Amino acid sequence: MTELLLHGYWRSSAAYRVRIALELKGLPYAQVTHDLRIGAQCEAGYRDLAPQGLVPALEADGTVLTQSLAIIELLDEIRPTPALLPAAPTQRALVRSMAALIACDIHPLNNLRVLQVLRQEFDAGQSQVNAWIGRWICDGFAALETLVAAHGEGFAYGDTPGLADCYLVPQLYSAERFGVDLSPYPALVAAGAVARELPEFARAHPARQPDADPA
């Protein structure tokens, strides 16, 4: 496979997921940044690659893939080890459902473009935006907490890092950014802490990215 080119933004949780997966797989990649704060992802040149104007997008072998779940599953197929999904079909489906709980039910409601609509079209202040963010994170985390408590053995699922951790760690980062109280979710916090200790997760952290704001 030719070099992988990841289009993203340092603080995008969806791009963060893909970076974690790339690091876990040990796959070399280059990055192109699109500053979401100034709408760089909406520029015509990028929309030619990613028609939705969203990050991440991955260029691989002449194909451009969007949507983090599709990208991560491709990485799992082209580099089967270490596996990000369990071997048994029902277990694989369970882990996918854990990832989808974040990707489909939490993150879209807290995406930057949604928050901009709240601010610009509904005159929401920052306290209202933060309440909105917290509401949907807590709603999803309450459900995910039961799954991690039941199926985690150190990590979000089982005793090795995998797909669920690729989604959990960035969502925890987002929750912490906005001051969400995480005390009701001890299993999530514990699994996230274990994952964050790994060098692969550390390298993928937003603050370690070349386009990150100065500390």
- In the chain, CATH 1.20.1050.10 sits at 89-200
Contact 141, 185 (CB under 8 A): yes
Asked if residue 215 has pLDDT above 90, the reply is: no
Band the pLDDT of 1: cuts 50, 70, 90: low
- Residue 135 half-sphere exposure, CB side, CA atoms within 13 Å? 8
Q: What is the DSSP string of 66-124?
A: ESHHHHHHHHHHHS-SS-SS-SSHHHHHHHHHHHHIIIIIIHHHHSHHHHHHHHHHH--
Asked if residue 2 has pLDDT above 80, the reply is: no
Band the pLDDT of 31: cuts 50, 70, 90: very high
Q: What is the mean pLDDT of residues 187-203?
A: 98
Asked if residue 115 has pLDDT above 90, the reply is: yes
Q: How far apart are CA 134 and CA 17, in angstroms?
A: 20
Q: Which residue has the higher pLDDT, 3 or 168?
A: 168
Instruction: Indicate the fold that domain 89-200 takes in CATH.
Output: Glutathione S-transferase Yfyf (Class Pi); Chain A, domain 2 (1.20.1050)
- The reported pLDDT for the residue numbered 6 is 98
Q: What is the mean pLDDT of residues 196-200?
A: 98
Average pLDDT over all residues of the chain:
96
Report the percent of the chain where pLDDT is more than 90: 96
- The reported pLDDT for the residue numbered 3 is 83
- In the chain, CATH 3.40.30.10 sits at 4-82
Which class is 4-82 in CATH? Answer: alpha beta
Asked if residue 136 has pLDDT above 70, the reply is: yes
Report the percent of the chain where pLDDT is more than 70: 99
